[in-house]
Amino acid sequence: MTVRGPLHAIVLAAGEGTRMRSERPKPLHRLAGRAMVLHVLDALAELELDRVVVVVGHGAEWVTKTLADQAPSSLKIEFVEQVVQRGTGDAAAVALTGLPEDDEDADVVVLPGDTPLLRPATLAALVRLHRASDAAATLLTAEVDTPAGYGRVVRPNGTQVVRVVEDADATEEERAILEVNTSIYCFRLALLAPALRRLSPSNAQGEYYLTDVVEVLSSAGYSVRSMVIDDPVETAGVNDRAQLAAAEAEIRDRINERWMRRGVTMWDPERTYVDTTVELSPDVALWPGVVLRGACVVGPGAEIGPDTTLIDTEVGEWSEIRYSMCEQARIGSGAHVGPFAALGPGAVVADGETVAPFESRPERRGAAKRSRAPNGAT
């Protein structure tokens, strides 16, 4: 195995996402309380990355501000703007302006900002295979029963990948291939820039395809490999609201399973909604219809629900909250809230205190409500 230098990453997050039918840039649509592209950065955060370049375009200022405020602190992120969207190949070329030119032995992971289900272990395995095989490029691929719409992976000898052909440009024989490209790659950085310069927009979309780099490298005699992912769900992209809902369901299943394995009781996980930003303690019990959003912190032994929503609320140990709505409130230990109570921002419930049924505590004067402005980070 050739010893390689630094590892970088490029996240392609410039697209408008017209099928979302929204003013919000597609990378910022939320999943489990967190912008979609942040889930991608979370997966990258467990790699030992020297630098991450995020390509922004539509809503560039909004995307940049959100990531600057909320991205994992362990990542060194730089932003470059693709002013005119001319395809993924052009976006990758723009991204290279944010990476050092003298990293001859470096590798770079390239992935889209709309694959929020990708697991860190999968990216780590892709990098290991890429470096162990000394390949110029390694593709993450999937074998699916219905490959329509995906780029097909062409490798006649069964090992080396010779090209990726997009569905719109494929022949009938190529469309029968079940191994598809996931748009997630690891490249040898020194070879990526010259390969990108050889791309042409002579295709059905009239764009510069990053997938064409595979054929450029293969034709030049370089090794191109692929790693077939075990669970294709991980690489599912989000292009519309239906796919957003499917990704949300998968992420919430993962969140709930993780907390249950850490000692949290959920009487009906399918009716329990916990954001990624929530912190739960052992012996917490969540009844059906519970929604925990934002920066909630729930202490040991607390019981929440049924049909209770907490937003950015702190709950002390062994407290009970029934059929209530609490936002930016602080509830002490051994307290009882509800049923049908409403606590507004800044409300405080003392240790052992009972908030009577149907009692409402409006927000305190001067309490800071969370911003929901379009140019904010939420």
Active site residues: 19
Long-range contacts made by residues 373-376, C-beta under 8 angstroms, separation at least 24?
374/23, 374/24, 374/62, 375/61, 375/62, 375/65, 376/65
- Please give the torsion angle defined by the CA atoms of residues 353, 358, 364 and 369, in that order, rounded to the nearest 10 degrees: 110
CA-to-CA dists, residue 48 to 43, 75, 111, 254, 306, angstroms: 11, 9, 16, 24, 43
Pairing of strands 265-266, 336-337: unpaired
Cα distance between residue 287 and residue 284, in whole Å:
10
Main-chain phi, psi angles of 57, to 5 degrees: -155, -90
Cα distance between residue 5 and residue 22, in whole Å:
41
* Contact present, 292 and 304 (Cβ < 8 Å): yes
If we measure between CA atoms, which residue out of 102, 46, 106, 45 comes closest to residue 77? 45
Burial 49-84 (b: 16+ CB within 10 A, else e): bbbbbbbbbbbbebbbebbeebbeeebebebbebee
Distance of CA 274 to the CA centre of its chain: 16
What DSSP designation does 370 have?
P
Long-range contacts made by residues 126-129, C-beta under 8 angstroms, separation at least 24?
126/184, 126/186, 126/227, 127/7, 127/47, 127/186, 129/225, 129/227
